[in-house]
Amino acid sequence: MSEEGFTIWFTGWSGAGKTTIAIALEEELKKRGIRYVQRLDGDIVREGLCSDLGFSKNDRNENIKRASFVAELLSKNGVATLVSFISPYRNLRDYARENCHNFIEVYVKCDKETLIERDVKGLYRQAIEGKIPEFTGISDPYEEPLNPEIILNTADETLFESVKTVIEYLDKNGYI
């Protein structure tokens, strides 16, 4: 088992399953004996490290830069770092790739209809009604990854299947 740290960067629309998969993956990695695992979740990081930021493009960019900095510190020091952020802009995900140790991009893909059906908070409905400005995928763009290491389609696969796909990638590439 490798003691090498890595950064798994989960990207995708709100509600696609990034956090859910990261939590389940964290549990699975710990079961497999990975001692140091840290999750950086977009909502939690926004409450602490990025509480001064809004949702403008500049603020979103700064949010990703700060998360990338923390992920790099963790991963280069042997921590399996699981980052779950919408991170809608390709150039900022590329920035994270360039700056994070052993970067693995995971596109958590889900069609808009399924996301709207799953939307327990009603955010998509509010965004469609114009009540939430700059909402990713509705009134603000989401730029799909061009070459992610892993694509998980959560409309068609179970949580178990998604985690298994990531574990298989990590195993095959010598991270675990």
Q: What are the catalytic residues?
A: 87
Answer yes or no: are the C-beta atoms of 11 and 18 closer than 8 Å. yes
Alpha-carbon torsion, ordered 59, 15, 154, 141, to 10 deg: -40
Q: Which amino acid is at 154?
A: T
Residue 8 DSSP SS3? strand
Report, in this order, helix, strand and coil percent for the chain, each rounded to 5.
Answer: 45, 15, 40
